[in-house]
Structure 1
Amino acid sequence: MWIVALPALPALLNIPSQAFAAGDGPKRAKPKYNVLFIAVDDLNNDLGIYGNTFVKSPNIDRLARRGVRFDKAYTQFPLCSPSRSSLLTGQRPDVTKIYELQTHFRKNLPDIVTLPQLFKNNDYYSARVGKIFHYGVPGQIGTDGLDDPDSWNHRANPKGRDKTEEPLIKNLTPDRGLGSALAWRATEGTDDEQTDGMIANEAIKIMTEKKNEPFFLAVGFFRPHTPYVAPKKYFDMYPADQVPLPEEVPNDLDDIPEAALFTKPPHWGLDEAKRREALRAYYATITFMDAQVGRLIDAVDKLKLAEKTIIVLWSDHGYNVGQHGQWMKQSLFENSARVPLIISVPGAAKGKASGRTVELLDIYPTLAELCGLDPKQRLQGKSLVPLLKNPSAVWDKPAYTQVRRGQIFGRSVRTERFRYTEWDGGKAGVELYDHQKDPGEFTNLAKDSNFVITVNELAALLRKGYPETEQQAGK
């Protein structure tokens, strides 16, 4: 486990020399970077910049060209509240003890200083628009949800027609509630009438009002979280008969532990036509959300904030769209554990990609170091500043992801080549996938005699990441 206690640091420590203006030197008084902190709900890596040429994401792609794209970034828990609680406190789920959607992290960590609270405590204007801490979607849209009042100077909870028109949503899995269903609506009207459009408007208003003072502005979009609602024009970009379904292979589930499966039966019994219908809607809402991200980037440029604003875009977890018959999150397969992560820092690398394994947990210490702020508490992530300077820098940190399945845990470690997973400490199954040869995770090598050494090495690495809990899984 990596523990980072950050001392007070100059704002530009370890940032390339071009980050200094001409004639400036290290003795210059440190500037205060703004932070535009963009959270996206349930977004996987089906984006143009990550190689999916079918999905239209021109604005996120544009942001990636302004910064560093992390190709192997992972959530700590593929479920909204555990993931967000971990990222925003800088602590792993086994420290926050948040494994579900009801408990507020302050019940277990009453005195923790959150990432936005750190900025607020250091004279930044800290504001939230939309979903940053957990909200039930769509039930709690327009409310504070499980927000943390101590983290903000200002909070805004827009609510658009996607919320008011819920009775018109089509649910392809009617035995599941809208928040965990394959459900969609192609609506009339404009982007501005949707909750995410209203979120972008409010965020731009705040940036405009606060452009002359340092701010930490957290903008949390609800889409593409189900129900997949967006204006009809975005659905029109994706003809249903052209939507490609993920590759599946015969007998794929034969070597997968039962505990690894969230969607039962596979695809919840939906035929290919309905799966294309759901995936079309998911992609339409990605493109709708992407348009709102574009408006934020445009506002940064129009307000002449680009040279003093760090922009971070992240998703709380990935999302299965049919791989292994699985949908949504709550699994430890790659599509559920892997997340998009883009960080743009003025004067640092642009248009670069890093193939190092990193975690959402690393965002807190990264922003603290970039802005010269001292968290005055232990953080369990590792600053990504070296990778922002050199995306191929030497890096030996794996990524850990876990999920709870009933009363047992699944725990996974991801290196640059392998994913290794144990369910209930191995008693309910073990998985090993070689991503160099099998990026789709179709062949479980855990029982292959050729990989005995690899299994033993990764089992030890897994225990290193969960030193206090691995032997107590399920207890």
Structure 2
Amino acid sequence: MSSCGNNKQEEHNPQKPNVLFISIDDLRPELGCYGKDYIHSPNIDQLAKESTVFTKHFVQIPTCGASRYAMLTGMLPTTRKHLGNNAAVQFISNDTTRQLPETFIHHLKNNGYHTVGIGKISHSADGYVYGYEEPVSEQRELPESWSDLAFDAGKWGTGWNAFFAYSNGENRQSMKRQVKPYENGDVADDGYPDGLTANLALKKLKEVAGQDQPFFMGVGFFKPHLPFNAPQKYWDLYDESSLPLAPFDTIPTNVNKASLNNSGEFNSYQLGEEKASFEKKVSDDYARKLRHGYFASISYVDAQIGKLMAELKRLELYDNTIVVLWGDHGWNLGDYASWGKHTIFERSLNSAFIIKAPGESKAKSVEKIVSTVDFYPTLVELCGLKMPHETDGESLVSLLDGSGESWKDRSYGYYRNGITLRTDRYRLTKYFREASPQIELYDHEVDPNETNNIAEENPDLVAQLMPVLEQGNTGLYK
């Protein structure tokens, strides 16, 4: 694979490849193409048949804004502020001294790409900086990255209202959190915001199809982020009583609760039938109800992605478009008695990641350890451009075309005063805190669900891996 497709393709289409980047909030790798046959994701699965599916992709920070900042910049966190949802606001929006491109999107724009942003690409739901209950501002979260920044908030009025939307036009804020964490609305696809986002993306694809320059289009879908709201027809795809529960739904052995998520965001939905805690898990029936909502939300977004793929093909753009599908982090669906993200365990850091590069036509699965910070150099190389500066990531092109003989095969994650190292077999985590234990070790060969911390009985292995973990300490923790 060349950077812009095979030679025959370049002779007929000298234009640099387009890029369609699809970000999906809270999407763990629970799709048909990841071997989960109980999930209805036919459109993503079809894309996967012509793409490379990364089975061991890990984000760097398990919260939306910080994960997206790492994705956009290709950089690991170096301060505590890099772990927060406002990372882009603090280090991009309000930085008037920046000399380098603010994101890889900005770099593409500087090199002739028409860049279109729709929905949640950085942390903001619509690309503008304002609080959940504030009027929309005119300050862009990414001031220089977009040629065209668009969003349709519909009857909800603002991006953040749409992000927490219910089908009657209300939202979590307007209802003062007196809402359930799920809803099966008797509405069409555009009865929730992601349907409006898909419609707007179709319109924008038609616009860019007639241009002479290549395009980058970022389309950010909200679901399956809480609340798990989707049209009834997607709920109808599932038999709730047969849905699988979390494979491990209690606190791991030899682990402090300080390492885990206490389901605070989930419990803030005041009308939820049950609250979750480490002391009292939700019932199996309610867990299935919630998982039903999460899966229905995936199927709803899958249908919107199907519309985008069909339009790419109708406009004859598909063959020369790099398609990236990315979940900004994982999510605990009752795993470790938790509902939410915000941990540096596998469930929170492992997310869906698929790339279709020009010239690809067959499914391929890559099991090497890759990271979100690898996106920047990968897309720059696929687009035939030069890197403007060094990043903490490494181009994945050698894994896409099979040319690479070696790969670093490790990823770092950061949260809860901790750093975690994921290798092909182990996860080693070190916490900078008083609560014990501070060191956790999991052997994925025998314990893929990370149920038992074996650090204490394996001091030699910890000592062997610790220097590699310390390489990931970028100054964040002293």
Which bin holds the TM-score, normalised by the shorter protein?
0.7 to 0.9
Q: CA deviation at 1:425?
A: 6.8
Query: Does 1:74 pair with 2:58?
Result: yes
1:132 aligns to what SS in structure 2?
Answer: coil
2:234 aligns to what SS in structure 1?
Answer: helix
Cα separation, partners in 2 of 1:184 and 1:445, compared to 1, 3 Å: same
Cα separation, partners in 2 of 1:295 and 1:366, compared to 1, 3 Å: same
Query: Does 1:50 pair with 2:59?
Result: no
Q: CA deviation at 1:176?
A: 10
Distance 2:95 2:422 in 1: 28
Distance 1:53 1:176 in 2: 38
Assess if the C-alpha contact under 8 Å between 1:420 and 1:455 holds in 2. Answer: yes
TM-score (norm 1): 0.85
Cα separation, partners in 2 of 1:202 and 1:243, compared to 1, 3 Å: same
Assess if the C-alpha contact under 8 Å between 2:252 and 2:452 holds in 1. Answer: no
Assess if the C-alpha contact under 8 Å between 1:169 and 1:185 holds in 2. Answer: no
Distance 1:123 1:388 in 2: 25
Query: Does 1:419 pair with 2:427?
Result: yes
1:208 aligns to what SS in structure 2?
Answer: helix
Cα separation, partners in 2 of 1:231 and 1:167, compared to 1, 3 Å: closer
Query: Does 1:206 pair with 2:204?
Result: yes
Distance 1:353 1:142 in 2: 44
Q: CA deviation at 1:382?
A: 0.3
Distance 1:81 1:457 in 2: 33
- Which residue of 2 is the match for residue 65 of structure 1? 49
Query: Does 1:188 pair with 2:183?
Result: no
Q: CA deviation at 1:324?
A: 1.1
What is the identity, as a one-letter code, of the residue corresponding to 1:152?
W
Distance 1:389 1:285 in 2: 33
Query: Does 1:12 pair with 2:2?
Result: yes
RMSD value over aligned CA atoms? 3.0
Distance 2:305 2:285 in 1: 30
Distance 1:43 1:267 in 2: 27
Assess if the C-alpha contact under 8 Å between 1:72 and 1:338 holds in 2. Answer: yes
- Bigger mean CA deviation after superposition, 291-300 or 427-436: 427-436
- Which residue of 2 is the match for residue 271 of structure 1? 283
Assess if the C-alpha contact under 8 Å between 1:80 and 1:101 holds in 2. Answer: yes
What is the identity, as a one-letter code, of the residue corresponding to 1:389?
D
Query: Does 1:292 pair with 2:304?
Result: yes
Assess if the C-alpha contact under 8 Å between 1:12 and 1:19 holds in 2. Answer: yes
Assess if the C-alpha contact under 8 Å between 1:259 and 1:423 holds in 2. Answer: no
Assess if the C-alpha contact under 8 Å between 1:431 and 1:445 holds in 2. Answer: yes
What is the identity, as a one-letter code, of the residue corresponding to 1:19?
N
Q: CA deviation at 1:349?
A: 6.4
1:422 aligns to what SS in structure 2?
Answer: strand
- Which residue of 2 is the match for residue 157 of structure 1? 151
Distance 2:406 2:434 in 1: 31
Query: Does 1:443 pair with 2:452?
Result: yes
Distance 1:134 1:279 in 2: 25
- Which residue of 2 is the match for residue 5 of structure 1? none
Query: Does 1:453 pair with 2:465?
Result: no
Distance 2:74 2:445 in 1: 30
Query: Does 1:316 pair with 2:325?
Result: no
Cα separation, partners in 2 of 1:452 and 1:296, compared to 1, 3 Å: same
What is the identity, as a one-letter code, of the residue corresponding to 1:199?
T
CA displacement, residues 214-270 of structure 1 (integer Å, 9 cap, x when unaligned): 100000001111111111111111232222111237x74341122211126238742
Distance 2:95 2:441 in 1: 33
The percentage of counterpart residues that share the same residue type is 33
Cα separation, partners in 2 of 1:198 and 1:373, compared to 1, 3 Å: same
1:149 aligns to what SS in structure 2?
Answer: coil
Cα separation, partners in 2 of 1:266 and 1:197, compared to 1, 3 Å: same
- Bigger mean CA deviation after superposition, 95-104 or 160-169: 160-169
Distance 1:424 1:166 in 2: 44
Q: CA deviation at 1:391?
A: 8.5
Assess if the C-alpha contact under 8 Å between 1:161 and 1:193 holds in 2. Answer: no
> Any residues of structure 2 matched to 1:248-259 within 5 Å, and which?
248=248, 252-259=251-258
Assess if the C-alpha contact under 8 Å between 2:71 and 2:373 holds in 1. Answer: yes
Cα separation, partners in 2 of 1:393 and 1:223, compared to 1, 3 Å: farther
2:456 aligns to what SS in structure 1?
Answer: coil
CA displacement, residues 282-333 of structure 1 (integer Å, 9 cap, x when unaligned): 1100000011111111111111112210000001111111111122110111
Distance 2:10 2:219 in 1: 35
Aligned length: 443
- Bigger mean CA deviation after superposition, 457-466 or 155-164: 155-164
Distance 2:10 2:155 in 1: 52
> Any residues of structure 2 matched to 1:135-154 within 5 Å, and which?
135=124, 139=132, 147-154=141-148
- Which residue of 2 is the match for residue 398 of structure 1? 410
Q: CA deviation at 1:65?
A: 1.0
For 2:117, which of 109, 125, 128 is the aligned residue? 128
Which blocks of at least 5 consecutive residues in structure 2 are unaligned? 157-161, 264-276
- Which residue of 1 is the match for residue 271 of structure 2? none
Cα separation, partners in 2 of 1:148 and 1:433, compared to 1, 3 Å: same
Cα separation, partners in 2 of 1:142 and 1:43, compared to 1, 3 Å: farther
Q: CA deviation at 1:355?
A: 0.5
- Which residue of 2 is the match for residue 464 of structure 1? 471
- Which residue of 2 is the match for residue 280 of structure 1? 292
Assess if the C-alpha contact under 8 Å between 2:409 and 2:424 holds in 1. Answer: no
Cα separation, partners in 2 of 1:64 and 1:29, compared to 1, 3 Å: closer
- Which residue of 1 is the match for residue 8 of structure 2? 21
What is the identity, as a one-letter code, of the residue corresponding to 1:256?
V
What is the identity, as a one-letter code, of the residue corresponding to 1:157?
F
Assess if the C-alpha contact under 8 Å between 2:51 and 2:354 holds in 1. Answer: yes
1:98 aligns to what SS in structure 2?
Answer: helix
For 1:102, which of 74, 83, 86 is the aligned residue? 86
Assess if the C-alpha contact under 8 Å between 2:62 and 2:341 holds in 1. Answer: yes
Assess if the C-alpha contact under 8 Å between 1:142 and 1:158 holds in 2. Answer: no
What is the identity, as a one-letter code, of the residue corresponding to 2:380?
A
Q: CA deviation at 1:204?
A: 1.4
Distance 2:300 2:379 in 1: 28
Distance 2:328 2:282 in 1: 26
Assess if the C-alpha contact under 8 Å between 2:369 and 2:410 holds in 1. Answer: yes
TM-score (norm 2): 0.85
- Which residue of 2 is the match for residue 7 of structure 1? none
CA displacement, residues 185-229 of structure 1 (integer Å, 9 cap, x when unaligned): 111221123211111111111111111431000000011111111
Distance 2:134 2:370 in 1: 31
